[in-house]
Each structure stands twice: as structure tokens, then as C-alpha cells.
A and B are shown apart, each in its own frame.
Chain A
Amino acid sequence: MEIIKINIDNQQVQVPKGTTILKAAEIAGIEIPNLCFHKRLNPNSVCRVCVVEVKGESSLVSSCSYTIEKELTIYTDNERVKTARKLVLELIMSTHPNDCLLCENNGSCKLQDYAYQYEVEVFKFTRERPKYNIDKSNPFIIRDYNKCILCGRCVSICHQEQCSDIINYTHRGFDTKVSTYFDRGLEESSCAFCGQCVSVCPTGALSEKVAKGKARSWELKKVNTICPYCGCGCSIDLNVKDNQVIKVTSPENESINNGNLCVKGRFGFDFINHPERLKSPLLKDKNGNFKEISWHEAITTIASKLREIKDNYGSNAIAGLSSAKCTNEENYVFQKFMRAAIGTNNIDHCARL
């Protein structure tokens, strides 16, 4: 691999040919602000916040997409860059509702952070902006396009990662909006509600409906675990407050799924604190009504019934079906039980359905 020497903010750095300036800066320990870039996605280069000055280029370039092909001198934070970046942020903020107090993303919003960092004048321009109704029509995702900065990450992830193309840009000019075909609700589209779009939204435009109003971002504790739903073994973070799971996210790391999740992994956790969740065993009486019994009674009943079947019809007359709503440990123990204690391989799991 060809190695190229560059000078970035007066630091000499060596990077492989084809590295983007953003990545090179990261290697040099320099953080370049950016809104639309996401490491899981191809650069969109549309927020223009990550612009830097490359000596010899007539205008500023977007560091997320500009690849280093030859020796370069780069300034990521000189006056020209800072002025431009600040104004771009001010322009973006001029179309933003600026209601951080009420926003789900308060405290975990890049736009908010940069606005603070660059001391953005929020009322520099008129604040005229398109007004959209907040779409709460589907069970999973709240879509508030008033907060959308049109970074295009949701569009990219829907296209590149999910190959779904449910959403894209519609209209032109200032009225450009991310939307489904004919701007119908997501539930009317072929959306599978994987929530990938929510996971990459840098502002509060897309948020999890289930978490609405339940916790501020800084109150959440992330508990890392593996998604129980299928054999993929996706890494997930349970976002917990007061011992309650508020929402599920996924860490963007070296894990198998690298931040991607499906609808079940991301949204299928409502059973945990569901009031109708079974907490003790039930036995059906002769009239067909369930009756609460003790664990001892339950285990004894099941053991005697299983033994009866096994003795009369053999081990293979028994099959076990376990649930994704159990922990992996519980599932492991269950299959061990089926094979070792019952003596059958008739064991399956709902995730295979």
C-alpha cells in the first residue's frame, strides 16, 4: 500500500493513499466536526460542516469524501474554515425548531454540541422554515421532519445497508424533504421498521416512540448484551433507567452487526416490563381455566408428565420449543435439558420460525 505524507494543521502524518482527510485527521488526533458523515455509510458530503482547506484547491473541500492521493497541506481549523463552518451551522440552525428542552436527543445531539462549540447565533437570520406535522402514525418511530437537517444518513442507510429504499429526498430547493413515496406514512410503505434510520439520525428528527418522554439521554445506562432473537448474535445495548429498559441501541464496534439491528432486536423488548407478562406457573383445571400454582407443584407436574410420555412412547415423542424472550443462558440450559435429560434432539427455537 502506498503511504503518503501529509501536513495537517502543521502536523506531519503518514497515511495510506486513498484515505479520506477526515480519517487522516482522526489518525492525527484531530477531530473535524461533521453531521452527515457516518462511518457505516458512504460519505454524503452534504452538511458541509466538515469542510477543510486544502492548499491549492479554490474552495473548501468536504473532508469526509476528499481522498488523499498526493502530498497535501491541510488546515482543518483556520479562520477561513472556522468562519465558513460557523455560518453553515448558523444556516442549519436557522431552519431548526430550536426546542432542545423538549427534544428526545437533548444531550446526545451533534448539532446541539456544535452549535454550542461554535457559539452559533441562533437569531442571525429569519427563521422561516417549512412546517411539517409530526408523524406518529406507526408504532415504532416518531418522525419530526421539523428537526431534520437533511443530512441524508437515513436515506443512505435505508439504501446501502437495508437495500430497502423506503425513503428518499422529495421536492426541490428549500422544500426538500425526506419522505416515502407520495409522502404516505411508513406503515403504508414496505418499511420493515428496522429502525436503522433512527440509529443514524444525528438530531431528534427520528426517535423511538417507546422511549418518548421516559428518560433524558444522560440518565440512561447502557448494558451491553447479545440480542436473543436469532442466531446472528447481534450485539445490543439495553438503555436502562431505574432498572427499566427504555430503548435498545447497538454499539458501533467490532461486533458482528456493527450497529445494525432489525425490528425485533431494536423494538422487540416491550415484554420485559409488560404487565401481562407471566411471572408464576399456571395450571389448566378441568374446566379449562388457568390456576396459579407454586413452582414446586409445577415442576413436579411437568416432570411426572414428561416421564410418563418418555416411558410409554420414548424420548423422541417429546419436543422442546424455547423462546427468544428467555435469556441465552436459559435457552442453553433448556437445550441441554432436552438432549441430556430427555434424550432427544427435538429442540427448536422461535427465532427459526
Chain B
Amino acid sequence: MTTKLNSTNELKNLRKKIKSSFVSKKIQITICGGTGCNAFGSKGVITSFLNEIRKRKIEDRVEILKVGCYGFCENGPIVVIKPQNIFYRHVAFEDVSEIISKTILKEEIIDRLLYIDPISGKKYTFYQDIPFFNKQKRLLLKNNPQADLIQINSYLALDGYTALEKVLDNLSPEKVINEIKEAKLCGRGGAGFPTGLKWEYCSQSYSLKKYLVCNADEGDPGAFMNRSILEGNPHLVLEGIIITAYAIGADEGYIYVRGEYPFAVEYIKAAISQAESLGLLGNNILGSNFSFSIKVKEGVGSFVCGEETALISSIEGKRGMPRVKPPYPTSKGLWEKPTVVNNVETLANVPFIINEGSEEYQNKGLNNSSGTKILAVSGRICNGGLIEVPLGTSIRYVIYDICGGLPKGRSLKAVQIGGPSGGYILPKDLDIPLDFQSLQKKGAMLGSGILSVMDETSCIVDSSLSFLDFLKDELCGQCAPCRIGIKRLHEILTKITMGEGKEEDINLLFEISNTLKDTSLCNLGKTASLPLLSALDNFLEEFKEHILYKKCKAHVCDELYTAPCSDTCPVNIEVHGYVALIAQERFMEALELIKEKNPFPSICGRVCHHPCEVRCRRREIDEAMALRALKRFVADHEIELEKKSLKPIITKHRPEQIAIIGAGPSGLAAAYHLARRGYKVTIFEALETPGGMLAVAIPDYRLPKRILRYEIEDIERLGVKIKTNTMIGKDISFSEIRANSQAVYIAIGATINSELNIPGEESKGVSPAISFLKDMNLGNKLTLGNKVAVIGGGNVAIDAARSSLRLGASEVTIVYRRAKDDMPAIHEEIIDAEEEGIKILTLTAPNKIVSDNGQVKGLECLQIELSNFFDKSGRRIPNPIPDSEFILDVDMIIPAVGQKIDSSFLKDELVLTKKGTIQINSNTGETSLPGVFAGGDAASGPATVVEAIASGNIAAISIDKYLNDGKESREVVSTGKQTILEEEPATYRRHVMPTLGKKERLTGFKEVELGFTKKMAIDEARRCLRCHEKE
């Protein structure tokens, strides 16, 4: 084989010979030999396979192949068994013997090694069925896992070096350049400069000596596409290099590889020597007049050497520092000679273009781009890794269709594209195509193709800082704005993340960033501030939060949050504090701490939508802490022990009278805090019972009436008077209330059902959810249907559905227009509802109520398709599918599509918003009238219980300040700080809430959740990771 080939015909013959012997009848076990899988131990797996095969003497039937990177690195080591393509992941050497004895010898599939799709939960057996792979369009990476391509024979067997053959046989250098120009190939290293044009410039530069340099100094953090090609298919790159050299007239070339890529260096060197021995490199290649030799130069780990002029300096043996352009390398490059510097990925495209033609190549792209692009996707994404898609594919397709979107419960905040020289793309812009120009318009850059997916736990300030942190150590240091500017930006951002930022810092950031962009010598400096500028453009508010309010909502900047749970809680309960107290069995202190902020621990312990759990860091390991259950436990513990609550803390009795309109959670919370500050509080409630929505909307099986009563009585014990059956405008006038009190708080809620706005809504049997639940809770007369449809996806809808079932309906269906994941109801509630036998029809919208003589007979529905456009909430906009009507056979319909506020009595008194809610300053609760405050659903529109309590707290503090010369009359006591837990967090999983058996549940309104036992509570509390203890 080592004889040199002297013509293209000899190469053709050799290929034919190899091909005929290459078809294997053996079972092939291919193991990924890429760096990722190697790190997971694929080398050991390969050895184990070889040993095992030898031991069992089945070498004649089975062969082992080390193949190139799959790009699915987090699943490594990957083993694919051919010809069926059985795909095993995370294979350890312990699994080898089992694979041989079961899969190879008995054709049994080993279940635990199969890939499970994180979205659908579906198991996949075969490589080609996995969505991550089959939704990509692989051109360059296609052959990576096919064979051991480090061997030139394998490459030749897969039609390698045919493009070189074609070039030497038929194409002049000019024709090659033209083909590349027509293919519209653009540089894949980042700048996207037209490759053909670059070649043309170089070929037109007059010089007897020209160079070709292959830039494999892949340095962008997170990029590894070049490594993957070099490791998986080195001859592809080499073929591209030889053709390029032929086109531009270079007789010498360099491959500049990162020294940190030991395998890439090894493989490309091996490929070079194989090619040399076949006469594909060296003098008179394949007997032609064209001679070309290539050397490998290993970089020593400098990011800036990826910049072409710095790279040239480095090859020359100088310090790797960029030079001023112009002159461009195509006229004055390596050793002052015309030089083309092309990226690995760019060069790897060349053989395809030559073989298939420029037109075919253009067709491989989308939206006016040609070819494909390899992307490295990482961050908060289900399937990270290396993917190859047509250039011009939308970001959405990449993130959601190929990579499976974000893990459950995470919402997309931004996609960072282009790494340290790129920018942030917002969810609303996900449909823009991934190409060089479109991204630039949005302030991002395709760059080398790094996509980092960020969710609400990613802090933009911190992210911008991390790029500068990288660059400040990597920049070459010669030009002043870059060297000093980046340092100063880094200092300012560090200050901001430490809570020492000043408002004027924002201007300074803009000033430096813009100057950096405008004056730096090379592209490293010119693009260094782009991530920051993009961050400032898109997330200015987040910067301001850091600077003005000293808050990092993502809970990343250590100095700017206490703990994710406590900071997320709308009423700012010191969650980490009460958890620690529970772990130490100090239940009363825990309760005291909760009641410092929230008068309803027992209620919230049952019905809160627990945003604290959503942000709990324990989720990253297994599951969130059961915080709601813990809160309920300490509250119930108090009730059980009949300790009759905490002693009312009343600082000093004050003469001022305060009137509160509405005895819902918001009004009661405000009353609680004001009474504790010594004010005389009277609450006016229109209904016969206090509690608002807690009393009328939430069914007993979720919140027993005695619990509600108990916590309201607790507030009454502080001296708060509640006047029920007192409607403003009917029983007492608003002006009378104002005249008799020094301050008024309006928390009248949103109690009117929103309409469906579909025909037939007036029919008998249509009973809006709030009215239905209210009648039920207040013991009024109800007419219930047999087959019930509830329309809506919120908690009220679920409450109505589960109550109907308990009241005797035989069939209950929830109709919701979006996907189940989009339902705003508490997740556990949805699961419970389904367990009880409620059907949830998602992606379905009501169209018409069918009635007979005014009595509901059915519900006509339309099927819905989620569009590719997102609304303000970040959810896809639902669109009805034409002609998809069907009729749901029901005799009762409960619309639960939101509530409105009845603000009629306030119309002439207060400024209202367009939606009819009361306009307030959300930081203080102040309305347009002095001394009149408002909050709860009446101001915010329908929201959750805990949010209503939060607005009551805010109003109480504002009223206190209003009556106390702008100061708070009482300081909040914190006990959480004294509760440091010594032992390590417990390693077991979250405790499951004990519930009532299904049969027992449906017989009445008995509470479904039974609460934690003392032992469960203490054990659960010990799982806390103590994010508030920072080092």
C-alpha cells in the first residue's frame, strides 16, 4: 500500500480494490472515540470489547471499530451495534460482557442502556430513530460515526479523495475558485467572509510563493466542531486543504491546531503521513505538476492566536499578536507572502462542493444561505451537543425540535449565540434564521456556532461578566482600548455583581463598550463588548435591579440574594430560616418566622402555588424541597397542639382608624400587619363570611373551612373587626368610610366571571366557575349536570372539575386550548385531577354551545395547533385548525376562563386602568387618592393567594409609613440567621405527600392531602442545600 500513486487512475483502481474488500459481513460494534466519550472512558470500553471477543473466540463474527464523534457527548460512551444500529449510551466496561452475551449473541436489547428522550420519555432502540439525530442534516459530520476514518482506506472506501481526483483531472484553479464562489461558501470560523473571494484575492496576488493555513485553533469557549471533524474525519479536512492549495497556487501549508487537542494533533499527523505515502501530498501529487506539502503547528493555548494575523505571527515564531489590517493576509501574510487562512469547517466543505457542484451545495442551505453549519449547543437544554443543520435554520428548530427544548418547568430567557463575540437572542426572536447577516441585525453573531441556552436561573450580568473574565486574560495586550477597556468593564461589572454598582455605571459601560467596538485593533477587541452591549440592549432592567435594588433575580450573584426560595417568595418569608428551624425541631420558632410575613401559613401550606419550590436549587440534584408541605406541617402542628397561636405582637396602641374593604387574603393580610403595629382596623365584607376567594372558590377537599376559620380568628384576636354583609355603595357609602378613617385599603378582588364570548353562552346548564364554586361553598342550591365540561386550565377550572366529580357528575372533561405543560394550574392538582378520572382535552377550544330548547346539549370544539409565534407570556400562540370541529357530548358547561373586577362604585372616585382594575403604584399600593390604597386582584387582575397576601403586606407598610411620618413604626424580626445547620444535607429524595385513597376521595369533600408526619417534616427539612450560606 505504501507505493506512491502516479495518476488519478491508479487512485481510482486502489479505491475500487478497497471498496470490494470493505463490505463487512461481521457484526460491527462501533464505539465513539471522540474526546467526550474518551473522557467518559470509551478507551476502557474498547479494550473490554476486544478482550471479551477474544475470550469468547468470536473474532470471526464480530469486529470492533473506534469511530468519530457523534456530537451527543453527554451520553457517552456511545456504542452502536451494526447493521441494526442499536444505540447504547453511557456504556461502561462492566456492561461489555452483557452486551456480548445478550445483544450480540442472542439479539436481545438491554433496556437500561437505551436512550430515553427527556421530553416524551420515550425509549429509542435505534440510532436513526432518535430525534436528535434524524432532525439534523449532516453533511460534514455524516461520516464521522460510519467508520474508523483515521485509516485512509476507510476514507477511500467512502469515496474519499474523489474531489481531488476530479480537480486534478478536469478543473483549472480558476474553475475551482469559481465553483466555490458560486457555491456561496462563507468562512465558518466566525466572520463569514466569502471563501471564494478570499481565494481569488490570494491567487491574484503576484508572488512565486504562497501559503495556505488551516486554522484549527478553535478557542471559543464551548466550541468543539473543529475538533470533532479533525478527530472523526481528518482526511476530509486534508482533501479540502489540498484542493484549496491547488486553487490558490500554494505549495506549502500549515495546520495550526490547538495543543489542547492531543487526539486531533495525533490523527491529523497520521492522516498526513498516510496521504504522503500514497502520493496525495508532496511533489507532483498523483503524477500532476502540482506539489504541496503541509506541516502541523501546535498552538500553545492562546485564544487570540485564532485571529488569522496573530496565528500567522505565531507560526513565524513570534508572539501571537494580531497585525493591523490592511494589508490582508491574501496580499501579505505568512512571511509577508500571500496567504489564505481558512477554518477547518470551511475547508471540510470543499470536497462536497467539488463533488456535487455549487448548486447542490446551495440547496443544502435554507433562506438564501448555502451549506450547513455545525453548532455546539449547551446550557439549559435537554439534548446538548454538536449538531449540524442547514445554514439559515431557525433558532427555534434547533432549540426545540432537535435539542428537545429546555428541561421541564424551565422557561427560556435568552439564547446566547457567538460566545465572547456574540449576543443574546430573546424568545420573541427565535424564528430568525441562523445565518451571518440575520443574527448581526439582532446584535448577535453566528461566530463559530456556539449556542448557549439560558433560563431564569441565568443572570445576564454574570453572563456578560464571564465573557469579559475570559477575554481579559486572553487578549494580547498591545492595543490600549482593548487591554484597559476590557479590564475596566470587568471591574465595573464585578462591582455591580457585588452590589456596589452605581447608576452612572451603566453609562460608563456603554461608553467603554462603544469605544472598544470603534477603536480596537483587531476583531477580538472590536467584538469583545458585543455580548455586553447586547445584554444592555435586551436586559437593561436586570442591570438596574442589580444596581438600584441590589437584587439578582436569577440568584447567581452571591451578594445580591439571600436564598432562591426566600427571594422568590412573593411575601419574602425567610424560607431557608424556617426550614432550618424545622430540621432542628424548633417548630414554634419556625411558625413565628413565617407569621412575621404571612398570617396564613396553614392556608398557604395547602393552596399556595409555591414559586419557592420552582426555584429551589435542590431541583438541580433530584427534586425541590417540599416547602409548601413543611409550612403546612408547622402551622398544623400549632393547631393540633392548640397553642392558640402566637402571642399577638402589638408594639404600641395607636389611635388611627383604618378601613379595609374586602376580607379576602389581601385585606386580611393588610389588617393583620396593621393591627400588629397597633392600628385600629375595620374590614368591610360584602358576603356573609370572611375569606374572599379562599372561602368561596376553593373547595373543602383542598382547604377545609375550619383551617380558614382558625387563621381568620387569629387575626380577629389582634383586635381587627370584620363587618360581613356590608356592601359598599349599598350598606355604606365610600365617602362615609373615608370620613371615618385615616386610611383606606381597597382589596375587593376580582369576582365577576369572564365570558367565553361564544354563541349559546346564555343557555341553561352554563354555570360560570366562580358562581358554581361560591354556591357550593356557601351551601346554596346547585343544579349539576351528568356530563360536565369545564373550560380553562387554571386552578379554578381544576377546582370546579374535581368538585363536580365529588358532587356526583359521572363524567368531567377539562377543555384547554394549549398544551398540558402550559396549564397555569398547580402541577400536583393536574395530576390529582387526572388520577380521579377527569379527562383533560388539550389543544382544544370551545367554539359554540349546542343547546336544545335553551338547555345545554353539547359543546362544539375546535382543534388547536400551536403556532411558531410566542405571546408575551412566552407561550406559543394557539391557532384553531380549520374544519376540525367536533362535538363534546355534555349537559353542563362550567367556563373558568378568568375573572374581572367589579369596580362600579369606584368609577367616579379613583383612576382605573383600561382593564378596569384600580391603578396603583405597585411598590406602595397608593392610588390616585391620598390616603387610599389598593391591592390584591382588584389592582393586579386575577392572581394567586400568595400574591394577594404580598400586596396586603405592601399596603400595610405603606399605610404605616403614611401615618407615621414616612417611617415604619416596627422593624421586622428575623430569627433565621441564628439557625445554621451543621450536618451535611440529606441525600434521600423528596418526601411524597400522603394522600387520601381515590375511592375515599370521591365520596365527599374530605381533605385529599394528609400532611407530613413530624418525622417526615424533620427529614424533609434536612434535605435543604442551604443556599443562603455563602462562602
Footprint of B on A, CB under 8 Å?
Answer: 43-49, 51, 59-60, 62, 65-67, 80, 83-84, 87-88, 91-92, 94-95, 124-126, 128, 149-150, 152, 168-169, 171-176
Interface string of B324-336 (1 = CB under 8 A from A): 1010000000000
Q: Which residues of B contact A173 (CB under 8 A)?
A: 472-475, 477, 483, 486-487
**A88 contacts B481, C-beta separation under 8 Å:** yes
**A59 contacts B526, C-beta separation under 8 Å:** yes
**B480, CB-defined interface residue at 8 Å:** yes
**B480 contacts A169, C-beta separation under 8 Å:** no
Query: In the assembly, what is the distance between CA of A59 and CA of B474, in Å?
Result: 22
CB proximity of A72 to chain B, nearest CB, Å: 13
Q: Which residues of A contact B476 (CB under 8 A)?
A: 169, 172, 176
CB proximity of B440 to chain A, nearest CB, Å: 11
User: Other than the known A84-B515, A91-B484, A172-B302, what 12 A-B pairs have Cβ atoms closer than 8 Å?
Assistant: A45-B324, A60-B519, A91-B485, A94-B484, A124-B508, A125-B488, A126-B491, A128-B487, A169-B321, A173-B473, A173-B483, A175-B477
Q: Which residues of A contact B488 (CB under 8 A)?
A: 91, 94, 125-126
Could you say which of B476, B519, B520, B526 has the most chain A C-beta atoms within 10 Å of its C-beta? Answer: B519
Interface string of B448-487 (1 = CB under 8 A from A): 0000000000000000000000001111111111011111
Q: Which residues of A contact B321 (CB under 8 A)?
A: 169
Could you say which of A67, A128, A173 has the most chain B C-beta atoms within 10 Å of its C-beta? Answer: A173
Select one of B483, B508, B512, B514 contacting A150, CB under 8 A.
Answer: B483
Query: In the assembly, what is the distance between CA of A95 and CA of B487, in Å?
Result: 10
For the complex, would chain B's binding face be called helix, strand, loop or mixed by DSSP majority? helix
Select one of A83, A91, A169 contacting B478, CB under 8 A.
Answer: A169
**B474 contacts A172, C-beta separation under 8 Å:** yes
Q: Which residues of B contact A152 (CB under 8 A)?
A: 478
Q: Which residues of A contact B521 (CB under 8 A)?
A: 45-46, 48, 62
CB proximity of B727 to chain A, nearest CB, Å: 62
Known contacts A43-B324, A46-B521, A48-B521: A87-B511 contact under CB 8 Å: yes
CB proximity of B687 to chain A, nearest CB, Å: 61
CB proximity of A249 to chain B, nearest CB, Å: 26
Query: In the assembly, what is the distance between CA of A171 and CA of B483, in Å?
Result: 12
**B508 contacts A44, C-beta separation under 8 Å:** no
**A48 contacts B481, C-beta separation under 8 Å:** yes
Query: In the assembly, what is the distance between CA of A150 and CA of B484, in Å?
Result: 11
Interface string of B474-516 (1 = CB under 8 A from A): 1111111101111110010000000000000000100110110
Q: Which residues of B contact A60 (CB under 8 A)?
A: 518-519
Query: In the assembly, what is the distance between CA of A173 and CA of B326, in Å?
Result: 24
CB proximity of A303 to chain B, nearest CB, Å: 63
Q: Which residues of A contact B302 (CB under 8 A)?
A: 172
Could you say which of B304, B321, B479, B491 has the most chain A C-beta atoms within 10 Å of its C-beta? Answer: B479
Q: Which residues of A contact B304 (CB under 8 A)?
A: 172
Query: In the assembly, what is the distance between CA of A125 and CA of B517, in Å?
Result: 18
**B481 contacts A91, C-beta separation under 8 Å:** yes
**B480 contacts A51, C-beta separation under 8 Å:** no
**A48 contacts B483, C-beta separation under 8 Å:** no
CB-nearest residue of chain B to A175: B477
Select one of A46, A125, A175 contacting B480, CB under 8 A.
Answer: A46
A-B contact pairs, 17 of them (CB 8 A): A47-B480, A51-B519, A67-B326, A84-B519, A88-B519, A91-B480, A91-B481, A91-B485, A91-B515, A124-B508, A128-B487, A128-B491, A168-B319, A172-B304, A173-B483, A174-B477, A174-B483
CB proximity of B255 to chain A, nearest CB, Å: 24
Count, A-B residue pairs, CB within 8 A: 105
Query: In the assembly, what is the distance between CA of A166 and CA of B41, in Å?
Result: 48
**A176 contacts B477, C-beta separation under 8 Å:** yes
CB proximity of B496 to chain A, nearest CB, Å: 13
Query: In the assembly, what is the distance between CA of A152 and CA of B322, in Å?
Result: 14
CB-nearest residue of chain B to A128: B491
CB-nearest residue of chain B to A176: B477
Q: Which residues of A contact B472 (CB under 8 A)?
A: 173-174
CB proximity of B273 to chain A, nearest CB, Å: 34
CB proximity of A177 to chain B, nearest CB, Å: 8
Q: Which residues of B contact A175 (CB under 8 A)?
A: 477
**A176 contacts B518, C-beta separation under 8 Å:** no
Q: Which residues of B contact A44 (CB under 8 A)?
A: 478
Q: Which residues of A contact B526 (CB under 8 A)?
A: 59
Query: In the assembly, what is the distance between CA of A174 and CA of B519, in Å?
Result: 17
Query: In the assembly, what is the distance between CA of A95 and CA of B481, in Å?
Result: 12
Could you say which of B302, B478, B486, B526 has the most chain A C-beta atoms within 10 Å of its C-beta? Answer: B478
Q: Which residues of B contact A124 (CB under 8 A)?
A: 508
**B475 contacts A172, C-beta separation under 8 Å:** yes
Q: Which residues of B contact A149 (CB under 8 A)?
A: 480
CB-nearest residue of chain A to B519: A48
**A150 contacts B487, C-beta separation under 8 Å:** no
**A62 contacts B481, C-beta separation under 8 Å:** no
**B473 contacts A59, C-beta separation under 8 Å:** no
CB-nearest residue of chain B to A87: B515
Q: Which residues of B contact A83 (CB under 8 A)?
A: 515
**B484 contacts A95, C-beta separation under 8 Å:** yes
Select one of A45, A65, A172 contacting B477, CB under 8 A.
Answer: A172
Q: Which residues of A contact B478 (CB under 8 A)?
A: 44, 46, 150, 152, 169, 176
Select one of B475, B508, B511, B518 contacting A59, CB under 8 A.
Answer: B518
CB proximity of B443 to chain A, nearest CB, Å: 15
CB-nearest residue of chain B to A59: B518
CB-nearest residue of chain A to B495: A126
Query: In the assembly, what is the distance between CA of A139 and CA of B473, in Å?
Result: 35
**B515 contacts A88, C-beta separation under 8 Å:** yes
CB-nearest residue of chain A to B479: A46
Query: In the assembly, what is the distance between CA of A124 and CA of B512, in Å?
Result: 11
Chain B, range 311-353, C-beta contacts under 8 Å to A:
319, 321, 324, 326
Query: In the assembly, what is the distance between CA of A158 and CA of B485, in Å?
Result: 28
Interface string of B959-986 (1 = CB under 8 A from A): 0000000000000000000000000000
Q: Which residues of B contact A80 (CB under 8 A)?
A: 518
Q: Which residues of A contact B519 (CB under 8 A)?
A: 48, 51, 59-60, 84, 88
CB proximity of B942 to chain A, nearest CB, Å: 49
Query: In the assembly, what is the distance between CA of A59 and CA of B520, in Å?
Result: 9
Q: Which residues of A contact B512 (CB under 8 A)?
A: 87, 91
CB proximity of A180 to chain B, nearest CB, Å: 14
Q: Which residues of B contact A48 (CB under 8 A)?
A: 479-481, 519-521
CB-nearest residue of chain A to B491: A126
CB proximity of A53 to chain B, nearest CB, Å: 9
Query: In the assembly, what is the distance between CA of A66 and CA of B520, in Å?
Result: 14
Q: Which residues of A contact B473 (CB under 8 A)?
A: 172-173
Q: Which residues of B contact A168 (CB under 8 A)?
A: 319
CB proximity of A76 to chain B, nearest CB, Å: 14
CB-nearest residue of chain A to B525: A48
Q: Which residues of A contact B487 (CB under 8 A)?
A: 128, 173-174
Query: In the assembly, what is the distance between CA of A332 and CA of B278, in Å?
Result: 75
**B480 contacts A92, C-beta separation under 8 Å:** yes
Could you say which of A49, A172, A175 has the most chain B C-beta atoms within 10 Å of its C-beta? Answer: A172
**A92 contacts B324, C-beta separation under 8 Å:** no
CB-nearest residue of chain B to A44: B478
CB proximity of B457 to chain A, nearest CB, Å: 30
CB proximity of A163 to chain B, nearest CB, Å: 15
CB-nearest residue of chain B to A51: B519
Q: Which residues of A contact B515 (CB under 8 A)?
A: 83-84, 87-88, 91
Query: In the assembly, what is the distance between CA of A84 and CA of B481, in Å?
Result: 10
**A59 contacts B326, C-beta separation under 8 Å:** no
State the 10 A-B residue pairs at the shortest beta-carbon distance, nearest first: A176-B477, A91-B484, A87-B515, A174-B487, A45-B324, A48-B519, A46-B478, A46-B479, A65-B324, A173-B473
CB proximity of A150 to chain B, nearest CB, Å: 7
CB proximity of B193 to chain A, nearest CB, Å: 14
Could you say which of A62, A65, A67, A88 has the most chain B C-beta atoms within 10 Å of its C-beta? Answer: A88
Query: In the assembly, what is the distance between CA of A151 and CA of B847, in Å?
Result: 74
**A92 contacts B477, C-beta separation under 8 Å:** no
Query: In the assembly, what is the distance between CA of A128 and CA of B494, in Å?
Result: 13
CB-nearest residue of chain B to A43: B324
Query: In the assembly, what is the distance between CA of A125 and CA of B489, in Å?
Result: 10
